[in-house]
Amino acid sequence: MPTHPIHHITAICSNAQACLDFYVGVLGLRLVKRTINFDDPGTYHFYFGDETGSPGTILTFFPWDSMSSGRPGTGQTIATAYAVPAGSLEMWQQRLSSAGVSADPIATRFGERVLALRDGDGLVIELIETGWAAGLPAWANGDVPADMAVRAFHSSTISVDGYERTARVLREQFGYAEGASANDRFRFQTGQSPIAGVIDLLCQPDRRRGAMGTGTIHHIAFRAADDGEHLALRGALVQSGLNVTPVLDRTYFKSIYFREPGGVIFEVATDGPGMLIDESRETLGESLRLPSWLEGNRQQIESILPTIHLPGKKLQ
């Protein structure tokens, strides 16, 4: 059966400029798309990723400054992990310390070294040393040296009060196989390319239910290679008894959404058409992109959105 690694992860932040400063200025990601929340056009939607915004590298944000802080807990994706080259975590400790970002001590998880940190809203980001990270290109114009730059997603951690039904969706619908486990952490992986192919389920029945808000992850999206695979998976999900949205056009991909049995919002997004559909490789993220049905409202939308800038660069 087809396997479905992570396509992107979408989170909520409290301040648009602070989000850009951290993810571009500190973590060294590229802002590959600056658009709006299609369901809330008065709100930005930022996409951060590798040089071209490849599936498996994309972390996106809705900056909702009027929203209260969220509470991480069960029924949520609670951590996003990036792969970094082996031997780079000490350099990351120095970089984060210089930027005033606190991080946990380096730990080991399933034989890999892990450095956990939090952004300004408390969202957990993990940097995990892997042998395959150095084989992927680093963004040439990024602010982080290539020997330590983040490459792609390593994994994502989901907190659930009972993991079996969520695990069944990962196995039977998304093609994941159960791997190692330790204490309350159960690892699932696609078994093909390691890029963005790992989901860790944390079984935490005594933890409080999570509450959506700033500093939390809104949803996690899985990859579908094309429209045919997308529709086939939607049919299989419906057949299994899940309530799935119709296919929605998100310009850069097509999407379906559903809540898995543990309460987490899952999305399935197509690989195409991708981030280069309306901007060149060189100018990705530099201008505000609107879907065609909102282009006539550009002046009104731009008047509502806050003024922002990339570290060291003025946006159009």
Helix, coil or strand: residue 8 = strand
Checking if the pLDDT of 316 tops 70, the result is: no
> In whole numbers, what is the pLDDT of the chain averaged over residues?
96
pTM of the model: 0.97
CATH homologous superfamily of 6-304 equals: 2,3-Dihydroxybiphenyl 1,2-Dioxygenase, domain 1 (3.10.180.10)
How do residues 287-307 score in pLDDT, each as one tens digit? 999 999 999 999 999 999 999
What DSSP state is assigned to residue 14? S
Instruction: Supply the pLDDT for residue 81.
Output: 98
Cα separation, 198 vs 30, in Å, equals 23
How do residues 51-92 score in pLDDT, each as one tens digit? 999 999 999 999 999 999 999 999 999 999 999 999 999 999
The percent of residues above 90 in pLDDT, for the chain, comes to: 95
Neighbours of 267 (CB within 10 A): 21
How do residues 112-139 score in pLDDT, each as one tens digit? 999 999 999 999 999 999 999 999 999 9
What is the pairing mode between strands 76-85 and 124-130?
parallel
Pair 199, 185: CB distance under 8 Å: no
| Sequence ranges of the domains in the chain | 6-304
Q: Which helix (H) or strand (E) holds 171?
A: helix 164-172
Q: How confident is the model at residue 313 (pLDDT cuts 50, 70, 90)?
A: low
Q: How confident is the model at residue 180 (pLDDT cuts 50, 70, 90)?
A: very high
DSSP assignments along 94-139, one per residue: HHHHHTT--BPPPEEETTEEEEEEE-TT--EEEEEEESSGGGSPPP
